[in-house]
Structure 1
Amino acid sequence: AQKPAQKKLGKLSYKDQRELDGMEATIETAEKRKAELEAKLADPAVYSQGSKVAEVNQALEATTAEVDRLYTRWQELQDLAAGTA
């Protein structure tokens, strides 16, 4: 019988496997950035700086979109690895 790890490696290209291997750390970094931006928006001092609020909001929207994109890509790679894509 084939081991799952062997099957997994056989379904992904080398590039995809390397991307999948690093995906967890990439998602974690993006989520930390998102949490930092959310904390900034929770800080009343940010609201006294007028344009800073819009800047932080824009960065938060971009970071949230990036986290969503990373999770979508991670799922695509997982599906490929499982042979369900």
Structure 2
Amino acid sequence: MNFLKYSLLRFGLLVLVFLLSMWLGAGLILSGIAAVAASFAVSYLFFPRLHTAAGEELRRWVARSPRPRNRVALEDQEVEDAYVDRKLREDGREV
């Protein structure tokens, strides 16, 4: 429920700032950029507990996603993960 609240709060802020910017005559692109930046900043700075709770809720949802059950699929997943990790290290990005 926290994820939904946080998402609706950010979306509401985005729409509010966008409409306000358009009313002030800032233009479509500038209004969109301002709306995204302002909704991110306001929700992140003024609602940190809701932000954290929403992140934890999303993490729990992802953790419950189905995992491969057979041995071959698990081995394939491990090989793919090792390959991605090696490529990230080669590119200079840490895992």
Is the helix fraction higher in 1 or 2? 1
Q: Tell me the TM-score normalised to structure 1 length.
A: 0.40
The normalised TM-score by structure 2 is 0.36
Larger radius of gyration: 2
